[in-house]
Structure 1
Amino acid sequence: MERLATLHLFVCIVDRGSFSAAAAACGVSRPVATAAIKALESRLGARLLHRSTRSVRPTVEGEAYYQRCRTLLADLEDADRSVSGTLAGVLRMDVVGHLARTIILPALPDFLARHPGLTLHLGEGERFVDLIREGVDCVVRAGPLADSDMVARRLGVMEEVTVASPEYLARHGVPVSPDRLEGHQMVGFVSSRTGQALPLEFTSGGKVVEVMLPAQLLVGGADTCAAAARLGLGLVQAPRYRFQKDLENGTLVEVLAEFPPLPTPLSLLYPSNRQLSARVRVFMDWLIEIISAKVQPVP
């Protein structure tokens, strides 16, 4: 393999923790990848990777070499851009689907038109994403952040609402306070972290009150949860922007507005040990700009 391609392959192997995954990402076969790394180690006179049947991880020398290669590849991309004035390559990000469709996609044609050499791989999901092993450049996540070695940039907060369908309210009545929800039910949204349904949350008298209601339906996706609310299957809480059209056309009705849930923080995360390339920096700056304009500032 050409030397620069070998360095890129080596970095990819360390990032993914796998020869097979890195080979696929770099467009080569596993045997070619194995031979290239063996030749690199032979040329350097040092072992760069610990290999086992379950994982691949860098040696002490390999970790130092990895960090230098990361910096070198990022600097090379910056150098190319300084001459050509253009960005090129693949960007990989992951974001909750509705946020992607309502905020990111409408602004994306202009961004891609300004950077025709870029390709964006946009993943949609609410599961935990291992940015390093999956080769993802950044993710946008809602809610409190668990401790991790990711760098987090707070984008703002999203106002939350409690909603129900007119049909549901006709059957169960309109709730008047969080402590008088007997006879009501919720659509249970299951946390990807705990595997348990999240309680409804209200603010009352300056305090946060959590209420766990019966749920005949448990879901793991925000879009399914919203659809279930429209079908009258229970009370649901979500960012206001998600239900804005439903509230305007009467498909859903806001309830307990005097006891709103706490606003949900929205954050951009990326790996702390990764030298950011020019294309990733430019993309994240753009992402911060368009999302921050659509959400409330950080209090």
Structure 2
Amino acid sequence: MDQIAAMRAFVRVVEAGNFSRAADLLEMPKPTITKLIQQLESHLRTKLLNRTTRRVGVTPDGAAYYERALALLSDLDELDGSMTKAQTTPSGRLRVDVGSSLALNVLIPALPDFHARYPDIQLDLGVSDRPADLVGENIDCAIRGGELLDPSLIARRIGQVELVMCATPGYIQRHGMPQHPRDLRDGHRVIAYFSPRTGRRFAFDMIRGEETYELDLPYAVAVNDSTAYLAACLTGLGIAHAVEPMIQPYLAAGTLVPVLPEWRGEPIVLHVVYAPNRHLSSRLRVFVDWVAELFASGNVYRRRPEALF
């Protein structure tokens, strides 16, 4: 029995919750995973997993073994990495989950710089505003905005993006330009956004100095994806409260016009997050540092002193 391979298979089955998903993540046949687990249980002379038709559960012995095996495998990966050129020349596959607007308007345009520095790293970008299970989907890290709902994740703050109001010139021609947030209650409609994680629709919050308004306004349409949000705004359906990097090219072209520009929404704080039981490989480490540098440079959003770390 290859005990290290059996331990890796066991850890992945526990994290994935079933043998089929673990086999996919390890790119191994399911019978091989099953055989490795059986050999490991026989070697240890104890049952590690409770198997059902839908899900695999962990026995008390299995839970204890999982914690020790995870620590041992992490130490082994660290040792292997320290003895190879990967520390100076990071390489391999890195899976990153990122929201649509940040991917399209910030991250992907900057990737030529990343690949010039680290040509041997292959990035698999999962682009969506949906919540992702970092452990279950074998994702190395995610870039997330707003409140972090999972306190078990390790998070590094990388900056923030501004929220600004805008609309099409046609919408303003039909409904008039509001002069104050109070005007939005009379004859105006907004494009609403609801969280793909919680389903909660976000209210329009507007801040100018010490003045703050939080309005629950009539909406023409509500979406849970940032690219769909921009598309709805560009049709002239209503006023949007969008992240600045996403709409800046349209403001510059005149396709969208600013609405109440002296008022801003509460900035969205951005973090890079990863699971605490994930080995921080050299490729993950350099990617996290690069993303932090990207946002700290001030090239992707209107920089303010409080926006950095």
Structures share fold, TM-score greater than 0.5 = yes
Amino acid across the alignment from 2:68: R
Separation in 2, partners of 1:112, 1:205? 41
Tell me if 1:99 matches 2:108: no
State the TM-score, normalizing by the size of structure 2: 0.87
Amino acid across the alignment from 1:168: Y
Which stretches in structure 2 are left out of the alignment for 5+ residues?
none
1:146 counterpart residue number: 149
Separation in 2, partners of 1:105, 1:15? 30
Question: Is the contact made by 2:158 and 2:291 (CA closer than 8 Å) also made in structure 1?
Answer: no
1:252 counterpart residue number: 256
Which stretches in structure 1 are left out of the alignment for 5+ residues?
none
CA deviations 1:204-229 (Å, max 9, x no partner) are 56243222222222222111111221
1:276 counterpart residue number: 280
Question: Is the contact made by 1:77 and 1:278 (CA closer than 8 Å) also made in structure 2?
Answer: no
Separation in 2, partners of 1:51, 1:112? 43
State the TM-score, normalizing by the size of structure 1: 0.90
Tell me if 1:79 matches 2:45: no
Question: Is the contact made by 1:160 and 1:264 (CA closer than 8 Å) also made in structure 2?
Answer: yes
2:170 counterpart residue number: 167
- How many equivalent residue pairs? 299
Alignment of 1:193-212 (within 5 A): 193-204=197-208, 206-212=210-216
User: Residues 50 and 207 of structure 1: is their aligned pair in 2 closer, same or farther, counting only changes over 3 Å?
Assistant: farther
Alignment of 1:174-253 (within 5 A): 174-181=177-184, 182-204=186-208, 206-253=210-257
| Alpha-carbon RMSD | 2.2
Separation in 2, partners of 1:57, 1:277? 28
Moved over 6 A (4+): none
Question: Is the contact made by 1:71 and 1:275 (CA closer than 8 Å) also made in structure 2?
Answer: no
Question: Is the contact made by 2:77 and 2:279 (CA closer than 8 Å) also made in structure 1?
Answer: no
User: Residues 142 and 196 of structure 1: is their aligned pair in 2 closer, same or farther, counting only changes over 3 Å?
Assistant: same
1:158 counterpart residue number: 161
User: Residues 31 and 93 of structure 1: is their aligned pair in 2 closer, same or farther, counting only changes over 3 Å?
Assistant: same
- Give me the identity figure in percent: 40
The secondary structure found in structure 2 opposite 1:247 is: helix
User: Residues 67 and 113 of structure 1: is their aligned pair in 2 closer, same or farther, counting only changes over 3 Å?
Assistant: farther
1:285 counterpart residue number: 289
Tell me if 1:14 matches 2:17: no
